[in-house]
Amino acid sequence: MKKFDYYQPETLRDAFALMEKFNGRARYVAGGTDLIVRIKKKDVQPDALISLRNIEELKGIRHTRGGVSLGSMTRIRDMERDTTIARDYPALKQAAAVLANPQIRNVATVGGNFCNAAPCADCAPPLLIMETTLALEGPGGKRDIPAEEFFKGPGETCLQPFEILKAINVPNPKSKTPNPKSITMTFLKTGRVAQDLAIASAAALVVTEGKICRKCRLAAGSVAPVPMRLKRAEKLVEGQEITPELLEHVAKAVEDEISPITDIRSTEAYRRIVTGVMIRRAIEA
């Protein structure tokens, strides 16, 4: 493994200054559970690592009536244990609880899960169904973008050089409806064994009025170059009564909407079928 310098700045300004000093040959590191593996495999060989661990403004889970702001350095384990997340954003808790294993969850961060931009990132589907926005900051200033626009391809994001993901802001779906009990959300994951990366994952948010679905948000992971919303399938559900026949139709539509590949974890054909089944079950749940 190539030797690298290691820095622990305490402010974003110092982090940007270090990145500028290394002219892009440095990498930000959060928990290191993705990056260090890649360095060991020699996929990346940075001259320096700039740790985000000591930057206070990237830390913490802040709840307000309107939603939750997850500092990008929030550890997966902290999301898993947060009782308000479990109550108001259960799909996010479900995803956190099956990401890797407790040892990894104790160091891995939600920001790292997003910025690594793996198609299988477990935190992505539940955050995509909740109209999440991302707060980014770089030497050139701040900007907010919808989570959907963040992923550009496997390992690729819309982050500008030197930019840092500061926070993940999630509106509380329950704050927008007079009847919070009409909202359900679920995350499901299929892997070869427990603790493994997803063969496929699925998340659904459903708002019902009587028997009719008023709002449906669906997303899936490991089935395309990026974690994706399933907008065509969503349209089939909205405004409809949720019946077994409709769900069968939606499962088939999901199979057509995704574009999975065959790799060491699974085949394209299995991924198509299992994702349709998981979306059906997530809506049913």
Ligand X SMILES: Cc1cc2nc3c(=O)[nH]c(=O)nc-3n(C[C@H](O)[C@H](O)[C@H](O)COP(=O)(O)OP(=O)(O)OC[C@H]3O[C@@H](n4cnc5c(N)ncnc54)[C@H](O)[C@@H]3O)c2cc1C
Instruction: Please report whether residue 121 would count as binding ligand X according to CB under 6 A.
Output: yes
Q: Which of 30, 70, 79, 224 binds ligand X (CB under 6 A)?
A: 30
Smallest gap from Cβ 78 to ligand X, in A, equals 12
Site string for ligand X, 149-178 (x = CB under 6 A): ----------x----xx-------------
Element (H, E) at 202: strand 200-209
User: Residue 31, interface with ligand X (CB under 6 A)?
Assistant: yes
Q: What gap in Å lies between CA 211 and CA 131, rounded to an integer?
A: 24
Stretch that binds ligand X, among 6-14, 62-70, 81-89, 115-123 (CB under 6 A): 115-123
Kindly tell me which of 201 and 234 has the beta carbon lying closer to ligand X.
Answer: 201
Q: Is 33 in the site for ligand X (CB under 6 A)?
A: yes
CB of 234 to ligand X, least distance (A): 23
Residue 192 falls in which region: left (phi positive, over 0), alpha (psi -120 to 50) or beta: alpha
**Is residue 203 within 8 Å of residue 126, measured between CB atoms?**
yes
Site size for ligand X (CB under 6 A) = 30
- Residue 34 interacting with ligand X (CB under 6 A): yes
Nearest partner of 31 among 72, 81, 60, judged by Cα: 72
Query: In this chain, which of 37, 149, 175, 259 binds ligand X, going by CB under 6 A?
Result: 37
Answer yes or no: are the C-beta atoms of 72 and 167 closer than 8 Å.
yes
Q: Are 99 and 113 in contact (CB under 8 A)?
A: yes
Instruction: Pick from 72, 133, 186, 266 the residue near ligand X by CB under 6 A.
Output: 72
8 A C-beta contact, residue 206 and residue 216: yes
Q: Which residues between 75 and 104 bind ligand X (CB under 6 A)?
A: 76, 99-100, 104
Rounded to the nearest whole angstrom, what is the least distance from the CB of residue 44 to ligand X in the complex?
8
Q: What is the DSSP string of 74-91?
A: -BHHHHHH-HHHHHH-HH
Report the distance separating Cα 109 and Cα 77, nearest Å: 9
In sequence order, the 6+-apart residues with CB closer than 8 A to the CB of 87 are none
Query: Judged by CB under 6 A, which stretch of 60-68, 107-115, 139-147, 266-274 contacts ligand X?
Result: 107-115
The residue ranges that bind ligand X (CB under 6 A) are 27-35, 37, 52, 72, 76, 99-100, 104, 108-109, 111-113, 115-116, 120-122, 159, 164-165, 197
